[in-house]
Chain A
Amino acid sequence: MLLRHTTKEIKERKALTVNPAKTCQPIGAMYAALGIHNCLPHSHGSQGCCAYHRSALTRHYKEPVMAGTSSFTEGASVFGGQANLLQAIDTIFTVYEPDVIAVHTTCLSETIGDDIPQIAKKAETDGKIPKGKYVIHANTPSYVGSHVTGFATMTKAMVDYFAESNGRKIEQINIIPGYVEPSDMEEIKRIVSELGIRSVMFPDTSNVLNRPQTGRFDMFPKGGTTVDALRSTGSSKATLALGRLASGPAARALDAKCKVACEILDPPIGLAATDAFVDTLRRMGGVSVPESINTERGRLLDIITDMHQYFYGKKVGLVGDPDQLISLTEFLVSIDMWPIYVVTGTPGKKFESKIKEITRDVPHEVKVASGGDMFLFHQWLKNEPVDLMMGNTYLKYISRDENIPLVRFGFPILDRVGHSYFPTVGYRGGMRLLEKILDALLDKTDRESPEESFELVL
């Protein structure tokens, strides 16, 4: 038993997190910045932060992840990191030649009080920022929020620094995809273009963190939103933001700064959320939904129809990030599954009430925790098990100890491939999720059913 230390009795913990269901803000900021074309994310802090984030992203995506660091030393932590950041800006523009350096702070640089805009201004005055190049920043102390809020803050920085309105609206819609996989971003773009709508998506990590093998190592891959595209977001006629926590701040900032009206939806995971997504696009774009999309929808519905008896009443435990969990919970409820435990490490009470609302008709008690951890989740399971778990790779310990099948979903996935290539958003993504759920449930049935009831046809 790998987790033999988990106790069944649950005592309230205030000073301690055990087996976290979140990580810190800077990694989210780094991931978002990788979605800008020709951009080098930069970690303003100790070397370790940057190394850890790069390693974690590399393990999840199996791709090179480039980022600079201010390499703080004892001196910098006493006298401030200005000299380090100035040196870094100079080094990066001289040697790596990106269009953008996206600086995020760390707990260390936040606490010693480094003022990034002031330092960037000094770099500019000193002539260290070549013409047509940019230094943007996001404040992401690790002791606030989680990786999701870090992502949201860097995404908002893209608006703060680049979005411009020249008074004329252009025929395009902004899409803010939220903290999802590159495959999801690609799928969202595909659906939008299938509807015949012109769009700008930011950030966009497709073709950055799921790039093909080309025999080349490119410091800056093909993908990512260009600075020109980011600039144009201020002139778009509307913004569609997916995920309240990850995309909401950027969408509202665009509205405030450039008067681009926004709608904020839950990520299009599952049937109803994708319906809402497609319908909103239809209204925003003034288009009608093409047959091809209706066919995809019909197929997703067909799987649910064919297999609904297998979903019925299955108890599910979920661990993940708030935006995704909201859509996922709704999807599971809509196919008659019972998500009875829903845990996110990201703090925020709204999440709990939202999940309670979605699950109010589930004929079973539903436990929800924001700011929770996997230890608590496991304790709940010890008291009453579930049929299926969905969440990141760290759930595999529980899966093994309790013999509960696990569908990998979320960040990080350290031991399987696929998430960066195959989406879970949209109707097709919904189909993939159902395939995974059914595989997990039915493989267990096949593996464990006694000989006399082992059946060929399920």
Chain B
Amino acid sequence: MSSSASVIFQERKDQILRKGQGDFDMNCNRESLAGAVSQRACVFCGSRVVLYPIADALHLVHGPIGCAAYTWDIRGALSSGPDLHRLSFSTDLQEKDIIFGGEEKLYRALTELIDRHHPKAAFVYSTCIVGIIGDDLEAVCRKVASEKGIPVLPVQSEGFKGNKREGYGAACKAMFRLMGSGDTSNISPLGINILGDFNLAGEIWIIRGYFDRMGLQTVANITGDGRVEDLQRAHGAALNVVQCSGATMELAKMMKESFDIPFMRVSYFGVEDMAESLYQIARFFEPKAPGIMERTRELVKGELSQLYPRLQEFRRELAGKKAAIYVGGAFKAFSLVKAFRLLGMRVVLVGSQTGTEEDYRELYEITDEGTIIVDDSNPLELSSFLKEKDVDVFVGGVKERPIAYKLGVGFCDHNHERKKPLEGFIGMLNFAREIHSSVMSPVWRFVPRRKAR
């Protein structure tokens, strides 16, 4: 423990908690300490990851080339049809644009792209520099929208305005402007919108499959495999189900206020949360849809009877192993804690880039004694915790993977780079298989792991 203590900044002490040592007291959602090697990103990043899966929209990044280059198709958000979202469009601002302004360039870029690709809508992302030079994004977008007859939506995602969470907000505001304009006449009373699922590795298709079997009509995918026209009529749905609460909760709240659509928080990760989410949805629709509860029970029963025997095989070998979790938003951590428990594993470290106090309080409730809970961590801290807790597998994102591997610790990408769907009942099996494949890999026999600890 002394080794961990030495790498923790004084200023960050109250962003780290050990369950069982004193009461819950956590300081979070504050700006990162300058100079710390933070794993956090920016507002633009938040907006981009939320909106990018809308596949038939044009996504134009107004800024220098980097912002567009680093977000070019890096998240495996699959589309069943159009794939305009997988291209990278940038105004590629140059020095003279910084001096004289980029509005003219933006106007020309938008016009040219809309003429060539005929998108259903266009999102225009603002970057740091645009915020500084003061281009009037709103005015350019309005002008192009009226000339081209499609919605052209500014996304106020200047990077310096906060972290990813503010970016989610900007994305929600942009999407909200699409709503209310579409035709809702053929939407059944059992219409539902899926919020906060980005169809990584095809996950939203699994969830839509469940909703179909329950007799529900999915109106809009927000945003995985998303379509502009679906967003435009999303206000015709009877319920919003919100996953990844950080990303799209704001949109759900706006829709509640303007269209009186109720929302509920759900999670599709892990058996318990997946089943409970479906039951919760079924209970909501039960007055309008007799029989939905039975159908849902049948669905869950059928899935579980296939899943459990196969999970047991993994559980036998994984029981007692230790896991660490460090993810972008805390919501995912809740489900992961439960999923690991189902595999007989212990979660000894859990943290997120952007969790709220409420999130961490919930984590505190559901974790075991001694578990470390951490906000906005950094590589040095994470690696010392991994060593201290003698972790077998680490769940994180792209920047955490090589740290785990260097230490000789197994890894599972539960972020942009997942290659197998981890949602739904089948997702739990995939998750178990991924964890198993890494924890039990023969490679660890060859690395000087134990010796170095």
Chain A interface residues (CB < 8 Å from chain B): 2-5, 7, 13-20, 22-24, 26-27, 40, 42, 45-56, 58-59, 62-74, 76-77, 84-85, 87-92, 95-96, 106-108, 111-112, 141-144, 146, 213-219, 345, 375, 394, 397
> Is the beta-carbon distance between B9 and A91 smaller than 8 angstroms?
yes
B300 touches A (CB below 8 Å) = no
Partner of A58, one of B398, B449, B452: B398
Are B41 and A42 in contact, with the CB atoms below 8 A?
no
Pairwise interchain contact A19-B88, C-beta atoms closer than 8 A: yes
Chain B neighbourhood of A62, CB < 8 A: 401-402, 405
24 contacts between A and B (CB under 8 A): A22-B69, A24-B67, A40-B37, A51-B42, A52-B66, A64-B379, A66-B379, A67-B37, A68-B37, A69-B35, A70-B34, A77-B131, A77-B132, A95-B380, A107-B93, A107-B127, A141-B64, A143-B64, A143-B95, A144-B94, A144-B95, A215-B408, A218-B406, A345-B65
> Which of B44, B64, B448 contacts A48 (CB under 8 A)?
B44
Q: Given contacts A51-B399, A70-B35, could you give 15 more A-B pairs where the C-beta distance is less than 8 Å?
A: A5-B116, A15-B109, A16-B112, A17-B91, A52-B41, A52-B45, A55-B74, A55-B398, A62-B402, A70-B34, A77-B131, A87-B33, A87-B35, A95-B9, A215-B452
Q: Does B366 contact A (CB under 8 A)?
A: no
Q: Which of chain A's residues have a CB closer than 8 A to the CB of B401?
A: 58, 62
**Would B399 and A20 count as touching, CB distance under 8 A?**
no
Write out the residue numbers on chain A whose beta carbons fall within 8 Å of the beta carbon of B254: none
* Interface of chain B residues 116 through 137 with chain A (CB within 8 A): 116-117, 127-129, 131-133
- Give the A-B contact count at a CB cut-off of 8 A: 248
B177 within 8 A of A: no
Complex contact B116–A7 (CB within 8 A): yes
Known A47-B40, A213-B406: A72·B91 in contact at CB below 8 Å: no
With A14-B108, A19-B87, A51-B41 already in contact, the answer to whether A96 and B402 are too (CB < 8 A) is no
Task: Pick the most buried of B32, B67, B69: most chain A CB atoms within 10 A of its CB.
Answer: B69
Binding-face segment, B155-163, B197-205, B430-438: B155-163
Which B residues are in CB contact (< 8 Å) with A107?
A: 63-64, 93, 98, 127-129
A15-B108, A16-B91, A16-B109 given; A214·B72 CB < 8 A: no
Interface pair A89/B160, CB less than 8 Å apart: no
Tell whether B414 is near chain A: CB-to-CB under 8 Å. no
Q: Which of B160, B398, B408, B453 is A108 in contact with, Cβ under 8 Å? A: B160
**C-alpha gap A68/B132 in the complex (Å):** 23
Q: Is the CB of A215 within 8 A of B108?
A: no
Q: How far is the CA of A22 from the CA of B92 in the complex (A)?
A: 10
- Scoring B64, B112, B380, B398 by chain A CB atoms within 10 A of each residue's CB, the highest score goes to B64
A140 to chain B, nearest CB (A): 10
Interface: B68 (CB within 8 A): yes
Query: Do residues B112 and A48 form an inter-chain contact, with CB atoms below 8 A?
Result: no
Alpha-carbon distance A22/B89, docked complex (angstroms): 13
Within the complex, what minimum Cβ distance (angstroms) separates A117 from chain B? 18
The chain B residue sitting closest to A371, CB to CB, is B92
Q: A48-B41, A51-B41 are in contact. Are A2 and B86 (CB under 8 A)?
A: yes
Q: Which residues of B from 16 to 34 have beta carbons under 8 Å from A?
A: 31-34
Residues of B near A215 (CB, < 8 A) are: 406-408, 447-449, 451-453
Contact B94 A143, beta carbon cutoff 8 Å: yes
Q: Is the CB of B34 within 8 A of A84?
A: yes
Is B39 an interface residue when CB atoms closer than 8 A count as contact?
Answer: yes
Q: Say whether B83 faces chain A, with CB atoms less than 8 Å apart.
A: yes
> Most chain-A CB neighbours within 10 Å: which of B163, B399, B407, B451?
B399
What CA separation (Å) do A142 and B91 show in the bound complex?
13
Q: Is the CB of A18 within 8 A of B87?
A: yes
**B113, closest chain A residue (CB):** A16
Q: Is the beta-carbon distance between B72 and A394 smaller than 8 angstroms?
A: yes
Closest to A72 in B: B160
Q: How many angstroms between the C-alpha atoms of A48 and B72 in the bound complex? A: 15
Q: Are A92 and B35 in contact (CB under 8 A)?
A: yes
Q: Which of A20, A47, A66 contacts B41 (CB 8 A)?
A: A47
Chain A residues whose CB sits within 8 angstroms of the CB of B206 once the complex forms: none
CB distance from B328 to the nearest CB of A (A): 11
Nearest neighbor of B45 in chain A, beta-carbon distance: A48
B38 within 8 A of A: yes
Binding site for A on B (CB under 8 A): 7, 9, 31-45, 63-72, 74, 83-84, 86-95, 97-98, 104-109, 112-113, 116-117, 127-129, 131-133, 159-163, 379-380, 383, 398-399, 401-403, 405-408, 447-449, 451-453
Check A213 against B65 for contact (C-beta < 8 Å): no
* Chain B neighbourhood of A66, CB < 8 A: 37, 379
Q: A58-B401, A76-B160, A143-B98 are in contact. Are A91 and B35 (CB under 8 A)?
A: yes
Distance, CA A22 to CA B70, complexed state (A): 10
Q: Which residue of B lies closest to A54 (CB)?
A: B399
Name the 5 nearest CB pairs between A and B, nearest first.
A48-B42, A24-B66, A88-B35, A91-B35, A215-B452
> Which B residues are in CB contact (< 8 Å) with A27?
66
Which chain B residue lies CB-closest to A213? B447
Residues of A within 8 A of B109 (CB): 15-16
- B70 contact from A17, A23, A42, A70, Cβ within 8 A: A23
Whether B132 contacts A112 by the Cβ 8 Å rule is yes
Closest B residue to A24 using CB positions: B66
Instruction: Point out the residues of chain B lying under 8 angstroms from A4, CB to CB.
Output: 83
Q: How far is the CA of A26 from the CA of B92 in the complex (A)?
A: 15
Give the one of A58, A59, A142 with max B CB within 10 A. Answer: A142
Q: Which residues of A contact B452 (CB under 8 A)?
A: 214-216
For B102, the closest partner residue in chain A by CB is A15
Q: Are A16 and B108 in contact (CB under 8 A)?
A: yes
CA distance A312 to B147 in the complex (A): 52
Q: Hey, which chain A residues are within 8 Å of B104, CB to CB?
A: 15
A268 to B116: give the CA distance in the assembly, Å. 42
Q: Which chain B positions have C-beta within 8 A of A375?
A: 87
Point out the residues of chain B lying under 8 angstroms from A63, CB to CB.
402, 406
Assess the B35–A46 pair: CB atoms within 8 A.
no
A214 touches B38 (CB 8 A): no
Structural contact, A143 and B93, CB atoms closer than 8 A: yes
Q: How far is the CA of A220 from the CA of B448 in the complex (A)?
A: 19
Q: Are A213 and B408 in contact (CB under 8 A)?
A: yes
Q: If A89-B35, A143-B95 touch, does A58 touch B402 (CB 8 Å cutoff)?
A: yes
The answer on a CB contact under 8 Å between B160 and A20 is: no
Q: Judging by beta carbons under 8 Å apart, are A217 and B34 in contact? A: no
Q: CA–CA, A458 to B403, complex, Å?
A: 44
Do A77 and B160 contact each other (CB < 8 Å), given the known contacts A51-B41, A68-B37?
yes
Nearest-neighbor residue (CB-CB) of B66 within chain A: A24
* A90 to B33 Cα, complex, angstroms: 11
List chain B residues, Cβ under 8 A from A213. Answer: 405-406, 408, 447
Contacts of B69 in A (CB 8 A): 20, 22-24
Q: Say whether B402 contacts A111, CB under 8 Å.
A: no
How long is the Cα–Cα vector from A215 to B409 in the complex, in angstroms? 9
Closest to A17 in B: B92
**In the bound complex, how far is the Cα of B59 from the Cα of A16, in angstroms?**
13
Complex Cα spacing A23 to B447, Å: 36
How far does the alpha carbon of A245 sit from the alpha carbon of B15 in the complex, in Å?
Answer: 45
The residues of A that contact B38 with a CB separation of less than 8 Å are 47, 50-51, 69, 71
